[in-house]
Structure 1
C-alpha cells in the first residue's frame, strides 16, 4: 500500500508525463533563444532590453537569477523567460520542499501570468565542478522545486531543468563514443531518471569556440564555424558531420542512449563565439564571431534535426545578448555579446538593433522605439513651424 506522500508524487509524475509535450512547446517558442547575462555596469534598462528583443524577434531568453526588475519589465511582452535558482541556494532548497516553496512564492508566483516564466534552472553547470556538496544537492533541490510547483498548480506550465557543461562527459569524439564521466554517474543517473519522468530535456552548454581555443592545431576552424570543410566521419553510426555544433549535440544524445534515455530531447542552453580574446585565445575575433553566430542562426531557423536524431528539431540559446564587462576570467568571457550596450549590433548576423538616442549616450535609456519616434516627430514639427514663420 502506498503512503499518501508516495501516492501524491506518483500522481505528479503521471500528470507531468501527460503534459510534457505541451510544456516543451511552451518553454521554448521556435528554435532560437538568447541568454541575458547582466554582469556589467553599462547595460540598458530591462525595459529597453524588451524593446530590443521584440525588434530582433527573439522570443526566448534565459537569465541566471530571478531579478525583480527584469521580471517586471517582461510583463506583457510575450517573451518566454527561464529563471534560475542560483548555485549558492541549492543546498538550502535541497533540505525541504518548504524552502523551495518560499523561493517560488517570492521569485516566480508574484509575476505570473503577466510575465511568461516558463522554466526554472536548478543552478548552472553543477556537475563537473569542484563542490561535491552541490552535486549531492542537485537532485533533491530539483525534486523539491518541482513538487512545490505542482502543489501550486504550476508544474504544467513551468519546466524544471539544469544546464550542464561539457565537463560531464568523459569523451565526445567521435560523437557515438561519448559517455558520461564515471564519477558523475551516481548523481547523473537519478537526475536523468527524474527528468525523464517529468518530461524535462537534457540541457547542455556546447561551445565549439572553447574546443577550438583549446586545440587550434588539431581542429579545423572551418569545421567549428559551419564553413566548407571535409568534416568528420563517425564509423560506428556511418554518419558524416560538417560542423562541430551538431557533433556536440549528437555526442550528448549518444551518452544519453548508453544510459537508456534514448527518448530524451537535447537542448543547447548556451553556445556562442567570442569576438575578442587574449593572445592565447585562438579564434576570438569579430569576423569569427559573426560567422559562427550567423551560420548557427541559419541552421536553427531551418528547424531540422541532427544526423543522429533527424526528427528531433535542434533548439539553442545563444550566449549572449550583451558583452558583460565585469565578468571575471579571460578577455573572451567579456566579449560574447550579439549587441552593444547602446542597443546597436556588435556585428551583422541579420538583426537590426536599435539606434541610440544620441551619440554621447553610453547606453540606451529609452523605453522603446516609440520614444525615439516621438523625439524625431517633435523635432520635425518644430522645424516646420519655424519655416512657416
Structure 2
C-alpha cells in the first residue's frame, strides 16, 4: 500500500493541471515518426498538443497517452463543412469519434488566422457556419461539454492596440469576429489566439525595445490607466481581450494557441533570444495579465520542431524547441 501511495504521489504532479502545451507542426521531410513524437512529449512532461492536419497516425499514436489535444480544421476544409452539415458529421466521425475517448480532445479549432485583409480572406464567409456545423455534430455525439469548438485568430485583426485598453477589431474584422464571439459566449467556449511578441517587435523595433518583448525589461514600460505592463506578451493579449469585450465577449477566456520565437533567419532571431523567450514565457503564464490577473494562461508554444518545408520567411523554419533528431535546442523545463 505504501509503495502504491508513493507511486501515486510521484504521478500526480505529472497528470495534474497544466497550462503549457506545444504545437506539433509537421511541415518537414526529416521529422520523427508520429509515435516517436508522442513519446517525446511524454518524456518531457508536455501534457497538451496542437496539430494542424488530420494526421491519422498522430491521432493513433495519441491513444492512451493522456495528452490533451487541439485539433485543427484546415482552412481548405472550411467551405465544405460550412455548406454541408453531413460533411461536418462525417468529419467528426472520422477524426474525433473514431478516437474518443482514447484520445483526449480539448478543442476543435475551426480555421487558423482567417483574416479579411490577407490571403485567407476567401475563407471568411465559411468560418462561423463551419463552426456551427462542427458544433452540431459534436453535440449530436453528446460531447459538447468535453470538447469545445472554437477558431484561432491572431493579433493582426486588432487595431489601436496601444495602450492595450484601446484594442479594437479592425472595421472589416469586427463584422467577421462579432458573431463568432457571440457563438463562443453562447457555447461557453474560449477564443483561441496566436500571440507573437516576436512579430510585434520586428514590426516596430524603434518603439518596441527587445527586453520588453523578451520579458526582461527591468520595470514598467507601458502604463494604461491602472494597468502596468512590463512585457509585450501581456500587452498583446490584453489588447485582444479589449477587442473581444467591445463585441460582447465580456468574461470570454482567451487561450494562447501559439506563441514562439525563432532561433535564426531574421532580425533578433537568435538562439539566445529564443531560449530567453521560451523560458520566460513558460514561467510567466503561470500567472495572468494585468487585465486578467491571478489565473494561469493556457498557452501552446510554437513549435515542437524546426520545419524545413515551411514557406515564406526563413524564420518560419526555425521555431522549434527540438531539432528533428529529437535533441532539445534549449534548456527548457515544461510545466
Same fold (TM over 0.5): yes
Contact 1:275–1:289 (8 Å) recurs in 2: yes
Deviation at residue 233 of structure 1 after TM alignment? 2.8
Indicate the SS of the match to 1:317.
strand
Question: Is contact 1:29–1:60 with CA below 8 Å preserved after alignment?
Answer: no
| Aligned position for 2:24 | 36
Q: Does 1:57 align with 2:45?
A: yes
8 A Cα contact 2:82 2:130, kept in partner: yes
Shift of 1:131: 4.1
Distance 2:165 2:50 in 1: 29
What is the aligned partner in structure 2 of residue 342 from structure 1? 325
What TM-score results when the alignment is normalised by the length of structure 1? 0.79
Distance 1:130 1:341 in 2: 29
Report how far residue 231 of structure 1 moved: 3.5
Conserved? CA contact 2:155–2:240, under 8 Å: no
Query: Are positions 1:183 and 2:168 aligned together?
Result: no
Q: Deviations 1:56-98 (Å, cap 9, x if unpaired)?
A: 1110010002210000011110101111111011001001311
> Of 317, 322, 326, which aligns to 2:309?
326
Is 1:72 aligned with 2:60?
yes
Matches within 5 A, 1:194-209: 194-209=183-198
Which SS does the other structure have where 2:172 is aligned? coil
Counterpart-to-counterpart distance in 1, 2:259 and 2:247: 25
Contact 2:160 2:168 in 1 (8 A): yes
Q: CA RMSD in A?
A: 1.5
For the residue of structure 1 that corresponds to 2:136, the secondary structure is: helix
- Which residue number in structure 1 is paired with residue 290 of structure 2? 307
CA drift at 1:242:
0.7
Asked whether the equivalents of residues 176 and 234 of structure 1 are also in contact (C-alpha less than 8 Å), the reply is no
Deviation at 1:240, TM superposition (A): 1.1
Give the number of equivalent residue pairs.
Answer: 318
Instruction: Please list every run of 5 or more consecutive structure 2 residues that lacks an aligned counterpart in the other structure.
Output: 1-15
Which structure 1 residue ranges, 5 or more long, are not aligned? 1-27, 352-389
State which structure, 1 or 2, has the greater radius of gyration over its C-alpha atoms: 1
Matched, 1:83 2:71: yes
Indicate if the aligned counterparts of 1:212 and 1:282 stay in contact, CA closer than 8 A: no
1:47 aligned counterpart, secondary structure = helix
Counterpart of 2:260 in structure 1 is: 272
Aligned to 1:163: 152
Moved over 4 A (4+): none
Secondary structure of the corresponding residue to residue 171 of structure 2: coil
CA distance in 2, matches of 1:89, 1:105: 15
Q: Which moved more, 1:94-103 or 1:141-150?
A: 94-103
- TM-score, structure 2 normalization: 0.91
SS of 1:304's equivalent?
coil
